Amino acid sequence: MIKGLLVIQQGGIPVYSFMQEKTTDEQELFISSFVTAIQSFAKMVMSREEDGVLRVVMPHAVFVFRILTLHNEKQKDVQYCFALLADSEKKGEDLPEMLEYLMVCFLAHESGRFNKELRKTSQDLVVYKAFDEFMKGFLRSDWKTVRKKVRPAPASILQGILNELRNYMPIEQIVTLHPRIQRLGPSYAWLSDDIPAGEEEDLMKRIGQELGQTYGKGVYESLVDGIRKRLSTSSSPRD
Amino acid sequence: MGTLTEQRGAAAEKPLVRTWWLYGIAALAVFETWWYVFKPIDAGPASVFEGFVFVALSGLCIPVFGLLARQFGFTSTKPGQIMSTLALGFVLWCAAEASWLVLTVMDQITNPSIADVFWLAGYMMQILALLMNVRAIHVGFKPSVFILWIALSILIAVVVISIDVAPLLTETVGLGTIVSMGYPFFDTVIIILALVIVLKFKSGQVAKPWAVLVLGFLLTAAGDVWYMYADMMGEYTNVYSPMDYPLAIGYIAFILSGGLFIRLYRKQRASSRDD
């Protein structure tokens, strides 16, 4: 069962944490030791610049990590560690897949506002509290239903296209489309930086060409139409 | 920077996109044709060898579709789910072929047998994969195409029922008869769903691998319907039977289709890297 999500900045500072309600002293102790362990682990992992989803299995808990590199206005790397905690890994609960899903939802939350704040290395932790409602809904819902029915809200047209491309191209191909596209997990990709308008247009044109050549005319256009319609809608699992 | 087409051409010349496997598949198809036309060895060993070939062909489909499923993150994406389900279907069909081979060698063939359980379970997986595919990418049909699909579906259902199901209805209904009726039913569903794919993926580079996959399903279904009819008429022999030929070619078509899918995505990835 999923216990919580933690987002840690370089240096081990937690910028966002959501833990399921604590009911017993034992659970409280368990969660506080988890947070301490994950902070030191995140620092170690970030200094090594490890890639991919990492998993740590403990006697009564399992957590998966993913380091995300964003770029600030000065084009400097800003690293964050996203960690998902569970007390056990249930059958049908693919933790890396859940983590990448939550990462996309977090980064795209409020039309990509969190992504912008993270790039600014904002220390205003209250900003991210708006994600608590989403997490509550997520934890109340069945994962199979969420992954099937609730697609992450697009932060922009381009990011929306990247989210949908997972159903048209292997992730290895998606990340070759632009050097700023990075892999989040088994299937999602994220743009680490704002790219100039002209470059963004070229990238979208190229995705359109690739989809047209692979699936025929009209597929890209209907994809973009769908994203435009979804841009203003919420992605809460309660929807 | 050249055009995308020029770069694709350059990528196609790279050794990454080799075609040796295509010759291998062509050789398999030629071998199977030669086998059923010239009947090169005695019936006893030929029967066992044929069984081995079917196990090998169905077994080859598993890594091919498994690899495709892996490219799409297994169950985390729709294409990954489709390819994983197809791979699982081939695992079950391979188990069916293997158990049929064992039963043949031991001369213990019964109706129904454990092989039927695997075959029917495999059919269910393949039907599930085709259904998922129908829902995955939304392509609207023109009314005329929709009417054509309905008409063809009804025609195929009538033909299959009159060939395979009608004669069974005169028999005493036992478990064997019920299991036997499952095959034409699943064959009909597979053909109808395969037709949707043909009508859906008419353009783009994915049209070719999908068409080959559909050909595989059509050959499998046709071979199966023919086998059922021959078995009822008492004309089926376990070796060099012409109705086994479409089944063998069907498996080869599945392998070819998977290979074409893998090649398509590899070529695109190589092309994207070059840009």
What is the structure's pLDDT at B90?
Answer: 98
Write out the H or E segment, with its range, that includes residue A92: none
**Cross-chain residue pair B76–A209, CB shorter than 8 Å:** no
Record: contact A176-B273, CB cut-off 8 A: yes
| % of residues, chain A, pLDDT over 70 | 85
Q: Distance between CA atoms of A103 and B77, rounded to whole angstroms?
A: 16
Grouping H, G, I as helix, E, B as strand and the rest as coil, residue A90 is: coil
Per-residue confidence (pLDDT) for residue B272, from 0 to 100? 75
Q: Report yes or no: A217 and A232 within 8 Å, Cβ to Cβ.
A: no
Give the residue on B whose Cα is nearest the Cα of A173.
Answer: B269
What residue type is A12 in one-letter code? G
Is some CB atom of chain B closer than 8 A to the CB atom of A149? no
Phi-psi label, residue A52: left if phi above 0, alpha if psi -120 to 50, beta otherwise? left
pLDDT score at A48: 66
The dihedral through the CA atoms of B23, B25, B30, B31 has a sign that is positive
CB distance from A208 to chain B under 8 Å? no
Question: Are the beta carbons of B204 and A212 separated by less than 8 Å?
Answer: yes
CA distance A44 to A47: 5
Q: Inter-chain contact B201–A215, Cβ cutoff 8 Å?
A: yes
| Predicted pLDDT at A202 | 94
Q: Which residue of B has its CA nearest to A164?
A: B77
DSSP state of A183: E
Strand partners, A16: A7
Helix or strand run (H / E) with residue A64: strand A61-71
Instruction: Name the β-bridge partners of A53.
Output: A66
One-letter-per-residue 3-state SS of chain B: CCCHHHHHHHHHCCCCCCCHHHHHHHHHHHHHHHHHHHCCCCHHHHHHHHHHHHHHHHHHHHHHHHHHHHHCCHHHCHHHHHHHHHHHHHHHHHHHHHHHHHHHHHCCCCCCCHHHHHHHHHHHHHHHHHHHHHHHCCCCCCHHHHHHHHHHHHHHHHHHHHHHHHHHHCCCCCHHHHHHHHHHHHHHHHHHHHHHHHHHCCCCCCHHHHHHHHHHHHHHHHHHHHHHHHHHCCCCCCCCCCCHHHHHHHHHHHHHHHHHHHHHHHHHHHHHHHC
Most confident of A65-69, A83-87, A184-188, B82-86: B82-86
Residue B63 near residue B77, CB atoms below 8 Å: no
Alpha-carbon distance of A149 to A134, in angstroms, equals 15
Phi, psi (deg, nearest 5) at residue A85: -110, 135
Q: Return the closest-CA partner of residue A224 out of A175, A184, A165.
A: A165
Distance in Å, alpha carbon of A29 to nearest chain B alpha carbon: 34
For residue B25, pLDDT beyond 70: yes
For residue A172, count other CB atoms closer than 10 A to its CB.
15
Report, as an integer, the average pLDDT of B171-187.
81
- What is the 8-class DSSP label of residue A60? T
- The CA distances from residue B120 to A28, B54, B114, B182, in Å, are 51, 17, 10, 7
> Is the pTM above the cut of 0.80?
yes
As a whole number, mean pLDDT of residues B159-169 equals: 79
Q: Does ipTM exceed 0.95?
A: no
Higher pLDDT among residues A157 and A3, named by residue: A157
pLDDT for the residue B3: 40
Q: Which of residues 174-213 of B touch A (CB under 8 A)?
A: 201-207
Q: Do B75 and A94 count as a contact with CB atoms less than 8 A apart?
A: yes
For CA atoms A169, A172, A174, A177, the dihedral sign is: negative
* CATH topology for the A2-149 domain: Beta-Lactamase (3.30.450)
pLDDT at residue B24 tops 50:
yes
Amino acid identity for residue A110 in this structure: E
C-alpha span between A53 and A101 (Å, rounded) = 13
pLDDT tops 50 at residue B8: no
A73 — contact with chain B (CB < 8 Å)?
A: no
With 0-12 CB in 10 A as exposed, 13-18 as middle and 19+ as buried, what is A157? middle
Residue B226 in tokens: 């023919």
Per-residue pLDDT at A99 = 93
**Integer Cα distance of B96 and B155 in angstroms:** 30
Instruction: Read off the tokens for A215.
Output: 């699936």
Q: Using a CB–CB cutoff of 8 Å, tell me whether A171 touches chain B.
A: yes
What is the least distance, in Å, from the CA of A171 to any CA of chain B?
Answer: 7
Q: Chain A: residue nearest B139 by CA?
A: A219
Give A169's contacts in chain B (Cβ within 8 Å): 265, 268
Q: Does A144 touch chain B (CB under 8 A)?
A: no
- Banded model confidence at residue A87, pLDDT cuts 50, 70, 90: confident
Six-digit token string for A13: 């500072």
Cα distances (Å, whole numbers) of residue B240 to A6, A91, B100, B246: 64, 46, 16, 12
Mean pLDDT of B17-37: 91
> Residue A216: which of B76, B203, B268 has the nearest Cβ?
B203
Question: Which tokens sit at A97?
Answer: 């897949």
Give the CA distances from residue B238 to residues A80, B44, B143, B225, in Å, rounded to whole numbers and listed in that order. 64, 10, 45, 16
CA of B85 to nearest chain A CA: how many angstroms apart? 15
pLDDT value of position B194 = 87
Best probe of the A interface among B203, B206, B273, by most A CBs < 10 A, is B203
Q: Is B264 on the interface with A (CB under 8 A)?
A: yes
B79 in contact with A at a CB cutoff of 8 Å?
A: yes
Look at residue A209 in the predicted model and tell me its pLDDT: 92
What six digits make up the tokens of B62? 């598993």
* Residue-level pLDDT at A11: 76
How does residue B87 score in pLDDT terms, banded at 50, 70 and 90?
Answer: very high
* B96-152 pLDDT per residue, tens: 999 999 999 998 888 889 999 999 999 999 999 999 988 776 656 678 888 888 898
User: Cβ contacts (< 8 Å) between B275 and chain A: which residues?
Assistant: 206
- When pLDDT is cut at 50, 70 and 90, the band that residue A31 belongs to is low
B92: pLDDT confidence band, cut at 50, 70 and 90? very high
The B residues from 126 to 155 touching A (CB cutoff 8 Å) are 136-138
For residues B46 and B17, give the distance between their C-alpha atoms in angstroms, rounded to a whole number: 36
Among A225-229, B23-27, B137-141, the range of highest mean pLDDT: B23-27
- Chain A residue at shortest CA distance from B68: A170
| Residue ranges per structural domain of chain A | 2-149, 157-230
* pLDDT given at position A148: 82
Give B80's contacts in chain A (Cβ within 8 Å): 187
**pLDDT, tens digit, for every residue of A149-200?**
888 888 889 999 999 999 999 999 999 999 999 998 888 999 888 888 899 9
